[in-house]
């Protein structure tokens, strides 16, 4: 009797499992496909998450998502999960996208999935993309990035600051650009990351941490209107988990336009070296009275929003009455209120060449003032220096008085050598003197040749160092900048600060003139020309380098 009861209970359990299994299989036979997005009103330049879920459709394949072409896919991934609730088994596969709108406007998203030979359509999603908002107006997001350009219009030779600032109300673990920051028409110098700052700011009544994520000095190499592109930016936000996990969030910077204008040729000073901006000069003489044989120092500090690398020498034509020895310190570059600022110190040692009062005339440095849009001159005031003591005078000794001169006349000298084993040669004194003079002249020529060759070897070594840097570089702008230094080193003329006519005059009839002008044309015009690329640029510079080596 007991055995029959056990069998009955066992049969009932089998029946229950069969019923539940049949229900689960029925549930699995009803596939579902849906499309979801985090925000239906995203802002241009900010990312959002898009998820396509395939429920109870194992083996289903996504064919397409209509409208996804209006968004940039920053990241994608797929996950699968299985859930059992009250005996119901649910299989779900999610395809996740991190997307960013390309433009503002209204867009419709709908997915198409193939499952067991049949195509299914997901629900439709209508997304309204807003333009990027000004952070000074209305509500702002909890995470955004700003693109800041110190000036929208600059002159050739003027530096501009490009800054990117990240504002966040979250705890951030890390951040960085997903793209290489490259801007056509400019040489880029980045500020070291350890010099960038972070601080708290308030926007309205909200508290943010502002990060300076990148700051760059842009030096234009040609005139025209240029676009600073949009760049993708990733921020890893801490989720506060036990293992300090983070979630990536994606932003996009704003594009900006920058116009580079050419300098006016009217009233351009002959000594203009290409300095553009607001130049300020401070100077001081260490003393104005000194004894002969001592020296005084003229200390000069140049500052302003100008490229001080173009001011390599303060005293160019010497100072009458003094021997001049000039030294300079490295340029200090900084950003103040999102504006470029440079500072450089010079020391000019003056050694008097005579005694008395020596007048030093004012020294003028020409520059182009961007505020008044005119050429101006910064002045180092002159002064009068009093040199005490007398300079030593070289005197020629002359015999004075009535000293008697005794003349001795020798008619004949007899000489009998004591050592007959030696050969004695008698030469006229004038022949010996002539031989000595010739020997001295030959020695001086040999020493001069040695010094010239040694100096030329050093000079060639410096030229070789610049050419080696050109060969190792893969950036056209950097190559052109080094090439400009090479021409400036040999001919004392800057390709960036001079017109083509001035360059022709400076190079004269030199055989490299044509090639130099071709390189300038290449850098200043569209480079999408047949057979002209970075290799063309290097080959042209190689020809010039070989000519300079022979010179």
Q: Read off the tokens for 33.
A: 């496909």
User: Residue 52 — pLDDT band, cuts 50, 70, 90?
Assistant: very high
C-alpha pair distances (Å), 76 with each of 230, 248, 449: 21, 12, 71
Task: Say what the pLDDT of residue 39 is.
Answer: 81
Helix (H) or strand (E) holding 449: helix 429-472
Which residues face 251 on adjacent strands? 46, 233
User: Residue 29 — pLDDT band, cuts 50, 70, 90?
Assistant: low
> Is it the case that residue 16 has pLDDT exceeding 70?
no
Q: Model confidence over 227-282: pLDDT tens digits?
A: 999 999 999 998 776 555 788 889 999 999 999 999 999 999 999 999 999 999 99
> How do beta strands 206-220 and 143-149 pair?
unpaired
Instruction: State the angle between helix axes of 513-524 and 500-507 in degrees (0 to 180), rounded to the nearest 10.
Output: 160
For 468-495, what is the mean pLDDT? Answer: 83
Which residues face 50 on adjacent strands? 37, 97
d(CA 168, CA 188): 27
Task: Say what the pLDDT of residue 36 is.
Answer: 92
For 29-58, what is the mean pLDDT? Answer: 85
Q: Read off the tokens for 214.
A: 């990148």
Do domains 143-261 and 279-388 share one topology? The answer is yes
Task: Say what the pLDDT of residue 135 is.
Answer: 46
- Domain spans of the chain? 22-129, 143-261, 279-388, 454-550
Q: Higher confidence at residue 537 or residue 377?
A: 377
> How do beta strands 160-168 and 143-149 pair?
antiparallel
User: Residue 551 — pLDDT band, cuts 50, 70, 90?
Assistant: low
Task: Report whether 127 contacts 110 (CB < 8 A).
Answer: no
Strand order in the sheet with 224-228: 153-155, 256-261, 224-228
For 278-295, what is the mean pLDDT? Answer: 94
Task: Say what the pLDDT of residue 51 is.
Answer: 93
Architecture of domain 22-129: Sandwich (2.60)
Task: State which fold the 143-261 domain adopts.
Answer: Immunoglobulin-like (2.60.40)
Task: Say what the pLDDT of residue 6 is.
Answer: 66
Task: Report whether 296 contacts 290 (CB < 8 A).
Answer: yes
Task: Say what the pLDDT of residue 261 is.
Answer: 94
Which residues face 279 on adjacent strands? 304
Task: Say what the pLDDT of residue 424 is.
Answer: 59
Task: Say what the pLDDT of residue 480 is.
Answer: 84
Task: Say what the pLDDT of residue 246 is.
Answer: 81
d(CA 475, CA 478): 5
Residue 512 CB coordination number (10 Å): 20
For 140-148, what is the mean pLDDT? Answer: 87
The CA R_g of the chain, rounded to the nearest whole Å, is 41
> Is it the case that residue 165 has pLDDT exceeding 50?
yes
Task: Report whether 224 contacts 256 (CB < 8 A).
Answer: no
- Angle value at C-alpha 159, between 155 and 161, nearest 5 degrees: 120
- pTM, rounded to two decimals: 0.53
For 2-28, what is the mean pLDDT? Answer: 57
**What's the mean per-residue pLDDT of the chain?**
83
Task: Report whether 350 contacts 296 (CB < 8 A).
Answer: yes
Task: Say what the pLDDT of residue 137 is.
Answer: 39
Q: Model confidence over 430-460: pLDDT tens digits?
A: 778 788 889 889 988 988 777 766 655 555 6
What are φ and ψ of residue 325, in 5° steps?
Answer: -130, 115
Q: Higher confidence at residue 246 or residue 67?
A: 67
d(CA 283, CA 300): 4
Nearest to 143 by CA among 239, 49, 208: 208
At the top level of CATH, which class does the domain 279-388 belong to? mainly beta
> Is it the case that residue 367 has pLDDT exceeding 90?
yes
């Amino acid at each position: 009797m007991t055995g029959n009861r056990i069998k009955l209970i066992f049969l009932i359990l089998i029946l229950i499992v069969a019923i539940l299994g049949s229900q689960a299989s029925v549930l699995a036979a009803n596939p579902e496909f849906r499309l979801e997005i985090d925000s239906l009103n995203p802002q241009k330049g900010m990312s959002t998450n898009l998820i396509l879920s395939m429920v109870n459709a194992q083996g289903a394949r996504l064919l397409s998502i209509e409208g996804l072409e209006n968004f940039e896919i920053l990241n994608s991934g797929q996950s699968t999960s299985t859930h059992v609730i009250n005996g119901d088994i649910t299989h779900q596969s999610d395809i996740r996208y991190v997307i960013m709108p390309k433009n503002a406007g209204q867009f419709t998203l709908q997915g198409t999935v193939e499952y067991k030979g049949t195509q299914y359509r997901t629900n439709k999603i209508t997304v309204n993309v807003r333009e990027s908002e000004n952070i000074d107006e209305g509500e702002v997001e909890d995470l955004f990035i700003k693109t800041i350009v110190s000036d929208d219009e600059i002159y050739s030779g003027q530096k501009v600051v490009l800054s990117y600032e990240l504002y966040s109300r979250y705890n951030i673990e890390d951040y960085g650009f997903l793209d290489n920051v490259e801007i056509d028409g400019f040489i880029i110098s980045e500020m070291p990351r350890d010099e960038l700052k972070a601080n708290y700011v308030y926007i309205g009544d909200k508290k943010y941490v502002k990060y300076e994520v990148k700051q760059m000095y842009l030096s234009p190499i040609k005139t025209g209107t240029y676009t600073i592109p949009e760049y993708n930016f990733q921020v890893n936000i801490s989720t506060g988990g036990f293992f300090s996990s983070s979630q990536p969030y994606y932003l996009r910077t704003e594009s900006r336009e920058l116009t580079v204008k050419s300098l006016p040729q009217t009233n351009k000073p002959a000594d203009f070296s290409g300095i553009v901006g607001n130049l300020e000069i401070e100077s001081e003489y260490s003393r104005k009275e000194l004894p002969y044989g001592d020296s005084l120092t003229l200390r000069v500090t140049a500052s302003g929003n100008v490229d001080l690398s173009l001011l390599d020498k303060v005293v160019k034509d010497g100072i009458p009455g003094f021997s001049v020895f000039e030294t300079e310190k490295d340029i200090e570059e900084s950003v103040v209120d999102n504006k470029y600022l440079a500072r450089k110190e010079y020391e000019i040692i003056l050694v008097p060449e005579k005694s008395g009062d020596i007048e030093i005339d004012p020294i003028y440095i020409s520059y182009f003032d961007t505020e008044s849009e005119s050429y101006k001159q910064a002045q180092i005031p002159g002064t009068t220096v009093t040199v005490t003591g007398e300079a030593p005078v070289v005197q020629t000794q002359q015999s004075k008085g009535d000293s008697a001169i005794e003349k001795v006349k020798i008619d004949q000298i007899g000489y009998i050598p004591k050592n007959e084993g030696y050969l004695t040669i008698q030469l006229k004194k004038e022949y010996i003197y002539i031989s000595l003079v010739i020997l001295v002249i030959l020695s001086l020529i040999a020493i001069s040749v040695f010094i010239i060759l040694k100096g030329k070897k050093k000079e060639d070594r410096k030229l070789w160092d610049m050419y080696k840097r050109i060969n190792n570089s893969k950036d056209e702008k950097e190559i052109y900048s080094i090439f400009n230094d090479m021409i400036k080193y040999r001919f004392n003329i800057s390709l960036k600060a001079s017109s083509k006519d001035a360059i022709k005059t400076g190079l004269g009839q030199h055989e490299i003139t044509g090639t130099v002008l071709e390189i300038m044309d290449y850098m200043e015009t569209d480079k999408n020309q047949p057979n002209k690329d970075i290799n063309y640029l290097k080959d042209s510079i190689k020809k010039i380098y070989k000519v300079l080596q022979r010179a």
